[in-house]
Amino acid sequence: MIDRCYIEITNVCNLNCDFCPKHKRQNRQLSLEEFNLLTDKIRGKVVFLYFHLMGEPLLHPLLPDFIRIAREKGFRTVLTSNGTLLDKAMNLLSSLPHKVQLSLHSHESNGKGILSEYIDKLMQFAIPAAEQGTCVVLRLWNQGGRESENEQVLQLLEQYVQKPWRERPDGYRLCENLYLEFDRKFEWPEARKGDASHSVFCKALHKQIGILSDGSLVPCCMDHDGDITLGNLFTQSLDEILSSPRAKAMVEGFQHHRATELLCQNCESGNARNSFRGKPKS
């Protein structure tokens, strides 16, 4: 069983964050028929379905429907968003996913808009979502980068959830089902010549996969441009793609702490954390 699949329902974003890479692919979003087809292909083989890879999921008008459909098919759904469109997507409260991850550091990265208004928009959604049982994680993944707004963010959050907050290894539990998480700024890998000799381990293709908006299957959420396209789920089965020579070579390489792909040779997740991107929690 694969732990998680990152599905890109749109590769278009409404922001231009400096920490996020830009893809060279054609702008595209999944239709209802395509989403049904893709989720049928991985049904019973994936536990968590993450609405995330490139793009802002809240831009897709069918997101609430997609979450309901995925839940009905047995997936535990997770939404990752910059949160700027939440005021236009409050209907999402009627079809909440298992977990919502909101990247607060996107505001600082774009350098526009009023921070207090942004936080208010997030909290008007986050608090009722948490009260309904959805795990909501407010992320400040900018350690080692620009952190100029962090103290102000904490002060603003206290206006909505009074301290004391319960300390955790990676941040705070603000209240039931609502968390604030810190992490360092992530460096996305590039598919360029790297050091093939150093020890690398990754759970790609074993515990995680990614599906781009054109149906391409990639090994993980780090392959933002489809550099390691292993097949296409619109026309192939998951088993067929995972049993391809290229996919099998990747898995075997990781078992021997080798990276067979250039992108993997330059990825700090495999080199530094030996895990998934960042510290995603299920």
Per-residue pLDDT at 275 = 37
Per-residue pLDDT at 268 = 77
- Note whether 19 and 185 are within 8 A (CB): yes
Helix residue ranges, H only, the chain? 32-42, 63-72, 105-110, 115-131, 150-158, 238-242, 245-255, 262-265, 268
Mean pLDDT for each 10-residue chunk of the chain (282 residues)? 97 89 92 98 98 96 97 98 93 95 90 90 97 97 76 96 96 98 85 73 93 98 95 98 97 93 84 40 38
Cα-based distances in Å from 192 to 131, 187, 195, 238, 275: 46, 14, 10, 27, 21
212-242 burial, b if ≥16 CB within 10 A, otherwise e? Answer: bbbbbbbbbbbbbbbbbbbbebeebebeebb
Per-residue pLDDT at 277 = 38
Q: Which position has the token pair 């992108």?
A: 263
- Note whether 247 and 210 are within 8 A (CB): no
- Residue 269: other Cβ atoms inside 10 A: 24
**Strand pairing class (231-232; 216-218):** antiparallel
Positive or negative torsion for Cα 178, 180, 184, 187: positive
d(CA 77, CA 226): 23
123-142 burial, b if ≥16 CB within 10 A, otherwise e? Answer: bebbbebbeeebbbbbbbbb
Residue 31 backbone phi and psi in degrees, to 5: -85, 170
